[in-house]
Structure 1
Amino acid sequence: MGWFDWFRRRPPSDTLADPAAKPPVKPPPLQPESQWQVGCEADLLWMRHPKGDRHQVQLSQLHGIAIETNDSGPWGQDFWWLIYGPDEDLAFAFPEGATGETEVIERLRALPGFRDDAFGDAIRSTDIDTFVVWQRPLG
């Protein structure tokens, strides 16, 4: 028996296995955050509260977007999207982890003037703070 014979007898590692053989493990949805549903259809941004109430605003009437953070850490709902509609009134809010959030974030980040720097600061924040990530240009 040679020095490297154990390589031939060793069972194949999972890291070398065919990636198609096992589907990737999807992390479980956040609870209760995933009970909120959000979406964006054409020019309409909407949110459905876990109690069933639906709120919406047309993107053409969107005034601003902010992210509110708090210090409740990983055990609390510490990251909220605030969507402002006409007359600068809060149209609705939803927590990070809401069902459909990924698609909504992609659409919101495509808005001209979206502040990725403020978005990054909000993601990293562990303090009570508010970050304006988009405002309708004046004029």
Structure 2
Amino acid sequence: MLDWLSKLFGRRPEALPQRRVTSPVCVSHDDKIISVDDGAGSALTLAWAELGNVAVLTTDAGPFEPDLFWILTNRDGRQSIAIPMDARGEHALLVAMQSRLAGFDNMAVVEAMSTTSSGLFQVWPAADLP
């Protein structure tokens, strides 16, 4: 609308950084395994039976960088998988976690998604973790 004014004064509008539409990460699951392909040739798997903890990690990097991540950790705490919330297949994983994990805290997910600061939100701990 005011392009003529910009041209008159010779100032060029600075280009805003573009947000990636989707992450290169792809997550899939079946009845036994959660698989995560990072889009760069690496793949990680975690068995549902070994899942011990689910959290949401938030950063202050948004809105032009991913700033919400699922953190899935196995029962002994030695393996963690980070999945950006804009990964392909992430919504289907959320639905599966909601139905499979008794006590999954949807309100913690909502709280995490509502924050703009860095934090870690506990969504589902296994009751029998050491």
Taking structure 2 as the reference length, the TM-score comes to 0.78
Match of 1:90 in 2: 79
1:113 aligns with 2:113: no
Match of 2:125 in 1: 135
5+ unaligned residues in a row in structure 2: which ranges?
1-18
Tell me if structure 2 keeps the 8 A contact 1:82–1:90.
Answer: no
Alignment of 1:1-139 (within 5 A): 31=20, 33-110=22-99, 111-138=101-128
1:70 maps to a residue whose letter is: T
Taking structure 1 as the reference length, the TM-score comes to 0.73
Deviations 1:40-66 (A, max 9, x none): 111211100121111011111101011
- For residue 23 of structure 2, give the secondary structure of its aligned residue in structure 1: helix
Larger Rg: 1
- For residue 108 of structure 2, give the secondary structure of its aligned residue in structure 1: helix
Paired-residue identity, %? 24
Runs (4+) off by over 6 Å: none
- For residue 108 of structure 1, give the secondary structure of its aligned residue in structure 2: helix
5+ unaligned residues in a row in structure 1: which ranges?
1-29
- For residue 63 of structure 1, give the secondary structure of its aligned residue in structure 2: strand
Across the aligned residues of Structure 1 and Structure 2, the Cα RMSD in angstroms comes to: 1.6
Aligned length: 110
Structure 2: distance between partners of 1:95 and 1:50:
12
- For residue 65 of structure 1, give the secondary structure of its aligned residue in structure 2: strand
Tell me if structure 2 keeps the 8 A contact 1:66–1:81.
Answer: yes
C-alpha deviation, 1:32, in angstroms: 6.5
Higher helix fraction (1 or 2): 1
